[in-house]
Amino acid sequence: MIPLDPVAHPLDHLTKRGAPDAVALVDRAGDMTYTELEVAVGGMAAWLSPRHQPGERIATWLPKTRAACIMPLAVARAGLIHVPVNPALRRAQVAHILADSGAAMLLTQPTRATTLEPGDVPAGCTIVAEADVMRALPDHVGPSSLDPQTLAAILYTSGSTGRPKGVMLSHANLWLGAISVAHYLELETKDRVLGVLPLAFDYGQNQLFSTWAAGASVAPLDYLVARDVVKAVERTGATTLAGVPPLWVQLLDADWSSEAAARLRRLTNSGGALPPRLVGALRERFPKADLYPMYGLTEAFRSTYLPPALVDAHPEAMGRAIPYADVAIVRPDGTRAAPDEAGELVHAGPLVAQGYWQDPDRTAERFRPAPAFMAQGTAVWSGDTVKQGADGLFRFVGRDDEMIKSAGNRLSPQEIEEAVLSGGEAREAVAIGVPDERLGQAIVAAVAGDPASEEALRKRLKADLPAFMQPVRYVWHDELPRNANGKLDRAGIRRSMTS
């Protein structure tokens, strides 16, 4: 387990965490040592610095190429602000991010650049081809001495409920997030992390940073089907894999050799709860892997994790606060909730972001002074309803804007979804409330699976759930819609069911 650093540093110092000749990055171009990573980051920073003023925004719209992995540290070293754009996004979404961030440069590939139309690129923003920069890296610039509170990146949320908003993250936010994760995952220099999540997603980006914080190796992967991930585990000797629930469903359906499955020693999950049935399936498929369920929000990176030793006994729990996070359940009056009393999860401490880019109104709604009993300063008020048990573990109840109010009952969609999935008739489920004249809201479940299973599902749930928690209707899909970050598109599903 790596030690918890007592202070934050500028983000670009992560290149110094590993042994000089140890492998930091594994990609199609081969192995890159920590010495080579430092040279590449310094060279990219030297290319950027004379072309841009400190604080300008530099956007990247790339798959997981070597440049995409280097740029977050190089942009930070140059005193600039990185704006990663998810490669799955299309021109209208990219145009919004470029305009909203006021990007001075977009680093991308010609095939992507040609999809942009006149007006998509704001005045003053230069499009630069990835290959041109990688061929022309000049002299090396050493690690920076920037104030760790300096803004380092703007990460845009997926925008499933409207236009994406940019979350402002400092060097300290990103550095301490990397140290925290590397510490509680107990990453070691011998580990190899397979990076399958988008680098524009805080969870995916942290795969780079936490791996380098531990002096280990990361192998970024763009994949089309689950079989690509299986092959990459075999090819790279991956020990660690991070995913979201829809990805785990796909990977469990894939063919794994016993040797490949046994390579994985660590599985981490965020972006949605793992139903007990899925936990059991992962345990069976990957018998040597520790499982780390995690909960987070981009505005504070990550709040809680459940240690592997507690997963089997408490599969429904979110766990406890990660290092550097002060997390509490708060009543509407700002006081601490009692054990097992539902309230809003509030996150304080040095992982809290600096707010939303150029959006003081939404910043004021979400980022407010921490309650008196928490770490002082700004806290993120999550909007999630959570309980903390007498055992100290947090348990998710629901989001205020997703809770189903039916026949006078406030119902957790997650509880209904877990019941739907527990029998195996459906692979995935999203429960929502739709307007109903008699009930206020009626429960409708969007499910992935075979519609022929509905009769068996209904019969089982009559025994498993009270009448007021029974879905009145099921809408069957081959696959449920997902957003650009690979999460189930709950907002989109809700719109399609209520429009």
Give residue-wise pLDDT tens across range 216-256.
Answer: 999 999 999 999 999 999 999 999 999 988 789 889 999 99
270, 129, 110, 128: which is closest to 197 by C-alpha? 270
166-170, strands of its sheet edge to edge? 126-129, 105-108, 57-61, 81-85, 151-156, 166-170
Tell me which of 277 and 301 has the higher pLDDT.
301
Q: Taking residues 453-475, report their average pLDDT.
A: 91
Where in the chain is CATH 2.30.38.10? 311-398
Q: What is the pTM of this model?
A: 0.85
At the second CATH level, the architecture of 402-498 is 2-Layer Sandwich (3.30)
Residue 397 confidence (pLDDT): 86
Tell me which of 2 and 331 has the higher pLDDT.
331
Q: pLDDT of 245-276, one tens digit each?
A: 878 988 999 999 999 999 999 999 997 778 88
Q: What is the distance between the alpha carbons of residues 488 and 215, in angstroms, rounded to a whole number?
A: 33
- Amino acid letter at 23? V
Q: Which tokens is 149 given?
A: 């509170």
Q: pLDDT of 82-95, one tens digit each?
A: 999 999 888 888 99
Where in the chain is CATH 3.30.300.30? 402-498
Give the distance from CA 319 to its chain's centroid.
17
Residue 245 confidence (pLDDT): 82
Residue 160 confidence (pLDDT): 35
Q: Using the predicted structure, report yes or no on whether residue 174 has a pLDDT greater than 90.
A: yes
Tell me which of 485 and 54 has the higher pLDDT.
54
Residue 158 confidence (pLDDT): 55
Give the CATH superfamily of 311-398: Luciferase; Domain 3 (2.30.38.10)
The residue count for the chain: 499
Q: Taking residues 376-389, report their average pLDDT.
A: 95
Grade residue 410 by pLDDT with cuts at 50, 70 and 90. Answer: low
Residue 431 confidence (pLDDT): 94
Answer for the pair 106, 61: CB distance below 8 angstroms, yes or no. yes
Q: Using the predicted structure, report yes or no on whether residue 159 has a pLDDT greater than 50.
A: no
Residue 400 confidence (pLDDT): 67
237, 181, 236: which is closest to 214 by C-alpha? 181
Q: Taking residues 158-179, report their average pLDDT.
A: 83
Residue 161 confidence (pLDDT): 40
Residue 373 confidence (pLDDT): 95
Q: Taking residues 385-401, report their average pLDDT.
A: 89
288, 222, 277, 233: which is closest to 255 by C-alpha? 233
Grade residue 361 by pLDDT with cuts at 50, 70 and 90. Answer: very high
Q: pLDDT of 99-126, one tens digit each?
A: 999 999 999 999 999 999 989 999 999 9
Q: Using the predicted structure, report yes or no on whether residue 180 has a pLDDT greater than 70.
A: yes
CATH for 7-220, options being 3.40.1350.10, 3.40.50.12780, 3.40.630.30, 3.30.70.60: 3.40.50.12780
What percent of the chain has a predicted confidence (pLDDT) above 90? 77
What percent of the chain has a predicted confidence (pLDDT) above 70? 97
Answer for the pair 102, 57: CB distance below 8 angstroms, yes or no. yes
Residue 214 confidence (pLDDT): 98
Per the prediction, the chain carries an average pLDDT of 92
Burial 271-285 (b: 16+ CB within 10 A, else e): bbbbbeebbebbeeb
Q: pLDDT of 317-328, one tens digit each?
A: 999 999 999 999
Where in the chain is CATH 3.40.50.980? 223-295
Q: Are strands 151-156 and 409-411 parallel, antiparallel or unpaired?
A: unpaired
At the second CATH level, the architecture of 223-295 is 3-Layer(aba) Sandwich (3.40)
Q: Using the predicted structure, report yes or no on whether residue 164 has a pLDDT greater than 80.
A: no
Q: Find residue 445's DSSP bridge partners.
A: 431, 474
